[in-house]
């Protein structure tokens, strides 16, 4: 995937179709692919967070989830054609899971939020397998590792992580090698949108 740098932050030069095609390719791989969806605020945060910048460089797909990124690209002739929202790509992935009967796991959000988001996803997409969910307010390492065990037991095809940015990016990056899933995507506030 060809990528550009906006204020030193890697973003892939993709529109929604390109992002979705990358996702489809990730489903064929034998390792965890990481998808992140930075908006302008995250690009600004990354200015003082080299770790976050490095994680985005290593990510498999970084979509421009902010109109500010598209404007910056226009100003500097970098070639981003459109904003690609995380919630939009998540929806395309959910549709795909619905038609192929794939499983998802939702990790993050407040306790009721994770549960309600799953219930609403199930109403909208009844053929999706909800492999499980966990809220994003674990107390310590022990609880965190239990969540990883729970995810790995059910082996979801897709793992959506909503811990807010940059926590979710760092979490996915830290555990990418031991997670039993094909795609791990940081989805932030989208879980609240799904919870309604
Ligand atoms: N969140 C979480 N654990 C945390 C911090 C945040 O599960 O330790 C959840 C929060 O409840 C919300 C989601 O992460 O559902 C996104 O949080 P926020 O709106 O702060 O992040 P943003 O979408 O702005 O990145």
Residue 172 · residue 166 · CB < 8 Å? no
The number of domains in the chain is 1
pLDDT in tens, 93-135: 999 999 999 999 999 999 999 999 999 999 999 999 999 999 9
Count each helix (H run) and each strand (E run) in the chain, helices first.
9, 8
pLDDT at 126: 98
Where does ligand 1 bind, in terms of residues with CB under 6 Å? 108-110, 113, 136-137, 162-165, 167, 188-189, 191-192
Kindly give the number of the ligand 1 atom that is closest to the alpha carbon of 190.
23
Q: What's the CATH code of the domain at 27?
A: 3.40.50
- Our measurement of the distance from residue 116's CA atom to the centroid of its chain's CA atoms, rounded to an integer in Å, reads 19
Residue range 169-182: average pLDDT?
Answer: 98
Question: b/e for 67-104, b at 16 or more Cβ within 10 A?
Answer: ebbbebbeeeebebeebbbbebbbbebbebbbeeebbb
The pLDDT of residue 107: 98
> Is the per-residue pLDDT at 11 higher than 70?
yes
Residue 169 has pLDDT above 90, yes or no: yes
pLDDT band at 19 (very low <50, low <70, confident <90, very high): very high
* Cis geometry, peptide bond prior to residue 166 (ω within 30 degrees of 0): yes
pTM: 0.97
**Does any domain span residue 54?**
no
Ligand 1, atom 1: closest residue by C-alpha: 163
Residue 181 covered by a domain: yes
Q: How far is the CA of 107 from the centre of ligand 1 (A)?
A: 11
Residue 117 lies in a domain: yes
151, part of any domain: yes
Neighbours of 58 (CB within 10 A): 11
- At residue 63 the predicted structure's pLDDT band, cuts being 50, 70 and 90, is very high
Q: How confident is the model at residue 13 (pLDDT cuts 50, 70, 90)?
A: very high
Find the mean pLDDT for residues 71-83: 94
Domain that holds residue 140: 18-42+85-195
Q: Which pLDDT score, from 0 to 100, does residue 1 have? A: 59
Q: Would you state the pLDDT for residue 130?
A: 98
Is residue 32 domain-resident? yes
pLDDT at 66: 95
């Amino acid at each position: 995937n060809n990528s550009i740098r906006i204020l030193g932050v890697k973003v892939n030069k993709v529109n929604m179709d390109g992002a979705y095609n990358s996702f489809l390719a990730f489903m064929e791989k034998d390792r965890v692919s990481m998808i992140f969806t930075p908006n302008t605020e995250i690009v600004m945060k990354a200015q003082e967070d080299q770790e976050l910048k490095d994680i985005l460089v290593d990510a498999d797909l970084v979509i421009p989830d902010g109109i500010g990124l598209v404007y910056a690209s226009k100003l500097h002739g970098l070639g981003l054609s459109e904003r690609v929202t995380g919630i939009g790509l998540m929806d395309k992935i959910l549709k795909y899971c619905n038609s192929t009967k794939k499983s998802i796991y939702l990790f993050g959000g407040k306790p009721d939020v994770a549960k309600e988001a799953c219930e609403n996803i199930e109403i909208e997409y009844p053929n999706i397998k909800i492999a499980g969910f966990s809220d994003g307010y674990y107390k310590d390492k022990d609880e965190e590792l239990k969540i990883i065990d729970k995810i790995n037991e059910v082996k979801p095809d897709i793992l959506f992580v909503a811990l807010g940015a940059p926590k979710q990016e760092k979490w996915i990056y830290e555990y990418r090698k031991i997670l039993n899933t094909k795609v791990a995507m940081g989805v932030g506030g989208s879980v609240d949108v799904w919870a309604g």
